[in-house]
A and B are shown apart, each in its own frame.
Chain A
Amino acid sequence: MNLKLIGENWREKLEGLRYSRRLELALHEKARQETLDWAKEQIRDKKLDLLRPHETVALAVTDRRGKILGADINMPNDLILDNFGRWLAGIITPPAIVNTTRSISLTDINGSSHSNHYIYYFTDYTYNRDGAAVGGAMKVGSGSSAAARGDYDVTTAFGGSPEDDVFPTATGSYSAGYATVAGAITAGGSGTVNEVGLFMKWVYYTAYDVYVMICHDILGSGIPFSAGNIINVSYSFAI
């Protein structure tokens, strides 16, 4: 039976529940519904060019036994970032071209732009070669400024370790229109999570690997954590 998060106090009702796949799905469903409601308002007010939701993120802070201490979803107007758009544009390359001339420019986690991420190539330049560690990662922060397309890192990283840094995602999956991926980190310090970023670690030039943020989401409300708590993050892309 599917879980449904209804009513104004749905966040409070989650506290003490065990964090599960079922609950994770319910959080994404809630985020999508809020996004649709928001988009409906935007369209009716002629504020939005096109309804284009996007990705949703669910975050739950749990104790070591998996019991929820706090959970939330992204605000509905968040964006997939320019970096993702540039990558997908790079995929769209005709096969007859000399592909060594086709590279994309992405902005890394430090705000530096690198123009030599190659999509179609076979040596150390290729964005997805694993001589460096490549793949998905996440990062959380305490910033609550609205997300913007040009963002490249969380606004305010935590001071405690390891939650001050990126952490790897698990393996992504796809089913019936949704691509999803999860990740978790055990906090060493304390703070309040307000923002989440999804990153890809991709290669440019000769095997330089960098973290590139492709989604930046601000939560509906801050979720506090303390040392030993587990910060669980789940992203879902609707296509």
Chain B
Amino acid sequence: MLREFELVGEHWRDNIQGMELSQRLFDALHAKARRETRSFILEELKKAKPSILAGLRESVAVAVTDQKLRVLEAEINQPNDLILDNFGQFWAAHLHGVEQTTTTSIASLTDDANSSQNLLIYGDASIYGMWNHHTYEPGVVLAVGSGSSAAARDDYCIETPFGSSPEDSYFNCGNGSYAAGYISTVGSVSAGGSGTVNEVGLFLKAVNWTAMTLKTFMLFHDILGSGIPFTAGNIINVSYSIAI
């Protein structure tokens, strides 16, 4: 049964139009993205100096559907996309020696307005400036846009947000789940206008230590293999998968 969702051939994009969107289809899209990444890496490895020494890998699948979740078009990320500096800074600050004075475990991330913000990774539970203090509603959100420039490690926001609402704003993902080496999450937004999705971002909302205000930080930025058009009433479905 799973084989029917293996996306093969040049026309895989056309072949899935009209199908009902499901987790199995998202899984097939991620598998396709991973195969393309593998091919990309193999090509890179033929070079004397590969530009990549691959690390953690994320893939993103986007499907625009009608209200009944029938796929109008779907796409995956380009294989050379990157997890961003912000994620590296965030994780590195967790690697802070136990027993040390933990109020020095600060991650410096760039927010979506290109401003540097300090996050307190380890601290006293009574400190309202802790990065994850739930009073401020921290968490993870998604965003889409029409920009198609190559992703770069120091990206901090969607290149070209849409002009119509609510697809011009962040939208929630579901709770992340983990199984057998893959972390995954999905989210969707019902379009109010029309446009073409070319880029997707996953963002962390976290608290600035000293200002004690919630800021938004891009962790992943992905450019799709081709643009996915949508019109008002269509649902833009995004699925992220991170391989560890």
Q: Give residues in A with beta carbon < 8 Å to B.
A: 32, 36, 39-40, 43, 49-54, 79-80, 82, 84-86, 88-97, 99-100, 102, 119-124, 126, 128-131, 133-137, 149, 166, 168-174, 176-181, 183, 200-201, 235, 237-239
Contacts and interface: CB of A to CB of B under 8 A. Distances in A.
Nearest to B88: A174
Given A36-B53, A93-B176, A95-B172, A121 B122 contact: no
A124 B95 contact: no
Nearest to B31: A49
A93 to B, nearest CB: 5
B89 A53 contact: no
B42 interface: yes
B243 A52 contact: yes
B97 A92 contact: no
B13 interface: no
Contacts of A179: 88, 91-92, 95
26 contacts: A36-B45, A51-B54, A51-B57, A52-B243, A89-B184, A89-B185, A92-B140, A94-B141, A94-B174, A94-B187, A95-B138, A97-B175, A99-B134, A102-B175, A120-B133, A120-B138, A122-B130, A123-B125, A131-B125, A134-B122, A135-B102, A135-B122, A172-B94, A174-B89, A237-B56, A238-B56
B130 A128 contact: yes
Contacts of B178: 82, 85-86, 88-89
Could you tell me the dominant secondary structure of chain B's interface residues?
mixed
Interface string B68-88: 000000000000001101011
B132 A97 contact: no
A40 B187 CA distance: 34
Nearest to B37: A50
Contact of B83 (A43, A85, A90, A239): A239
B139 A130 contact: no
Contacts of A85: 178, 181-183, 244
A237 B55 contact: yes
> Which 5 pairs of residues, A with B, have the shortest CB-CB distance?
A172-B95, A92-B176, A238-B55, A95-B139, A174-B92
Given A130-B123, A238-B56, A84 B94 contact: no
Contacts of A176: 153
A135 B55 contact: no
Contacts, number: 223
B173 interface: yes
B133 A122 contact: yes
A239 B87 contact: yes
Which among A43, A85, A166 has the highest number of chain B CB atoms within 10 Å? Answer: A85
B176 A52 contact: no
Interface residues of B, number: 71
A180 B92 contact: yes
B33 to A, nearest CB: 9
Contacts of A235: 95
B121 A128 contact: yes
B38 interface: yes
Contacts of B105: 135, 171
Given A86-B178, A100-B134, A133-B98, A54 B183 contact: no
A172 B96 contact: yes
Interface in B31-79: 34, 37-38, 41-42, 45, 50, 53-57
A1 B238 CA distance: 45
A131 B124 contact: yes
> Which among A131, A174, A237 has the highest number of chain B CB atoms within 10 Å?
A174
